[in-house]
Structure 1
C-alpha cells in the first residue's frame, strides 16, 4: 500500500522547526578576558605549563569550567586556548575578569576608565634576574643582563597602578587608547624630559632596550593617575628609589642574592626599613620558587610629599593579601 504524505503538512513541519530553532538560540558562552599575562596551566595543582603559555592582555577565552570563589581570591577557570597540546588550560581568576556573555553596560565600563576615580595605588616592582629566567627568552633587555648591571642587584619598575575597588583589576586605560595593542611599541610614544627618561631607562630595562614597557604602563595605568607623563614617572621613580636605597635592599637583598630566604627574614628586613606592619602592605609574587615581583599597596594620595614609610603606615590601604610565595623562596642571581 502506497504511503501518502500531505505536502502542506511537510511544508508546515519544516517551517515550524525552522522558526522554533531560531526562537530558542543557545545562550552566549561565558568568557574570560585577560587583564594581565599569567600562566595557562595544564594542571593547576601541579602547575605544569607545556610550551610555557601565558594569557594575552585583552584576549577573550571561552570558559569551560570554574572552581572556587572569587571572594576568597581562590578562583580558577578552565579556558579554551589555541594551544596544540592540551588546549584546555587553567588560569587564576585574578588574572582577568569573567564575562557572562552579556556586554558590560556602558555606564559600568565608563566608571572604570575615567581618570582620577581611583581610591588606592599599587607600586609593582620586579626582580629582573627571575623575570629573565622565566619569561625573558628573546628579550633584548634579558640578553644583555650581567651581574654588574644595576638591575641585577636592585628592583626594577614594573608600574604604578591607580586602582578603583569597585572595578577590581579592571580600572585602567583612561586615555585615548582603550585596547592594548599586541606590541607595546605600537602605543603612541611618550613625551618625557631628558632627565626622567634617563632615570627611567636605568630602572626599567625594557625602556632602554626599546621593547616599550613604559608606553604600556602609561597608557594602561598612568592615564588614570591625573598626572602628566613626566609627573607620573617621577613619582614612580621616587617611590622605587626609596626601596632600592633602603637597608632592606642595600643590606638584606644584597647579602642574599642567589640564596633562599624565609618569609620571616624578608618581613623583618622590610619592616626594619619601613616600620612595623609595613610587610602587611606587600604582595609577594613567585614562580618556580623564585621571587619575581613585589606589589606594594599604597593609599590614594601619594603626591602629598610623604615618604614611603609614612604612606605605608596609613590605615585602610587595600591589599590583595601576601601573594603566592611559599615560606621559603629564592632571590635569583644572574
Structure 2
C-alpha cells in the first residue's frame, strides 16, 4: 500500500481539488470512496483506466527506459499498480468526421494537433500542478521520469477540455481504489510466481462484483505473452463517481495473455 504518498494526497489534495471534506485520520479506502470524481465527459462513452505492473513492464523492454534503470524510480512499485493513463473512448465529434475506433486509439488528440517533433520532455513544458499533487504523481507514475504524463495528456485529454489538475487527480483516485481492492492485493501477493489467467479475472470479480470480469483487459508481453505488464479497466464516463461499483464498469475485449501468467518482481 502506498501509504506515504496517499496520505499526503488524500488529505491535502482531494479535499481541495474535489471540494470534499476529508478527515485527517481517514484511511486510504475511506478517503477514496468519499471523493466524488468530477471529470466532465465531452461526448464519449467510457474511459479506459490503464495501470502498469511496473516490474513486468521493465522485464519485457528490450531498451528499458529511465524509470526501469534507476532504483529510486522503482521504489514501492511492487506494492501495487502504477499509473499509465486514463483514456477516453472515441469522442462523438471525431466519429462524425469519419474517425473510427482503431484510428482514435492510435492517434488520439494528435489527429487535431499533430504530435510535436522531438521528445515530449523537450516539446512540452512541465505541468503547473500543485506541489502535493505533483509529488503524488511522481510516486504513482514512475514513467513521469520519461515525461509519460505529458504524452498521456497530449494524446488523450488535451483536445477534450479535460483540465490537467482534475485529469490527474481523478486518475490517482482511480488507481488507489484498484490498489486498495482485493484484486490489487491478489496481484501483490502473487508477485514472483505464476497464476492462472482465469484466477486474475476471478480475483477482479471477487473485488468488484459478479460478471465484472468483462470490464478487465489483461496485457501481457514477453515470450508467449506470459508476463503481466498492464491491466485496463473500462469505466462508464457518466458513472465515474460510482467507481469501483459494478454499475460503473463497462465491458472490453479480452487481452492476449497466456493461460498461465507470470507476475514479475524486481530482483
Pairwise same-fold verdict (TM > 0.5) = yes
**What is the TM-score when the length of structure 1 is the normalising length?**
0.58
For 1:325, the equivalent position in structure 2 comes to 257
Query: Contact 1:162/1:221 (CA < 8 Å) preserved in 2?
Result: yes
Q: 1:224 to 1:302 in 2, by over 3 A?
A: farther
1:1-334 aligned within 5 A: 116-135=42-61, 137-145=63-71, 149-164=75-90, 166=95, 167-171=100-104, 172-173=108-109, 177-185=113-121, 186-207=123-144, 209=145, 211-250=146-185, 252-288=186-222, 289-303=226-240, 305-313=241-249, 317=250, 319=252, 321-334=253-266
Q: Deviations over 1:131-184 (max 9, x none)?
A: 111226352211124798221221111100001174303332179843254412
> Structure 1 residues 327, 175: CA separation in 2 closer, same or farther (over 3 Å shift)?
closer
| SS of alignment partner, residue 158 of structure 2 | helix
Larger helix share, 1 or 2: 2
Aligned to 2:34: none
Which whole-Å CA distance do the structure 2 matches of 1:188 and 1:175 have between them? Answer: 21
Q: Whose strand fraction is larger, Structure 1's or Structure 2's?
A: 1
- After the TM superposition, which segments of 4 or more aligned residues of structure 1 sit over 6 Å from their partners? none
Q: What is the distance in 1 between the residues matched to 2:167 and 2:239?
A: 11
Is the CA contact (8 Å cut-off) linking 1:174 and 1:223 kept in structure 2? no
**Counterpart contact for 1:175–1:219, Cα < 8 Å:** no
**Structure 2 CA distance for partners of 1:148 and 1:297, relative to 1, 3 Å:** closer
User: Greater Rg, structure 1 or structure 2?
Assistant: 1
Query: How much has 1:267 moved relative to structure 2?
Result: 1.7
TM superposition score normalised by structure 2 = 0.72
Distance 1:136 1:223 in 2: 30
RCO greater where, 1 or 2, for CA within 8 Å and sep 6 or more?
Answer: 2
Residues 129 and 333, structure 1, Cα contact 8 Å, conserved in 2: yes
Name the CA distance, whole Å, in 1 between partners of 2:115 and 2:140.
Answer: 26
CA distance in 1, matches of 2:150, 2:111: 12
Contact 1:154–1:249 at 8 Å: present in 2 too?
Answer: yes
Q: Deviations over 1:216-270 (max 9, x none)?
A: 01111122443210000011111111001112222x1122001110022112211
- Show structure 2 runs of 5+ residues with no match: 1-40
Determine the C-alpha separation between the residues in 2 that align with 1:139 and 1:122: 24
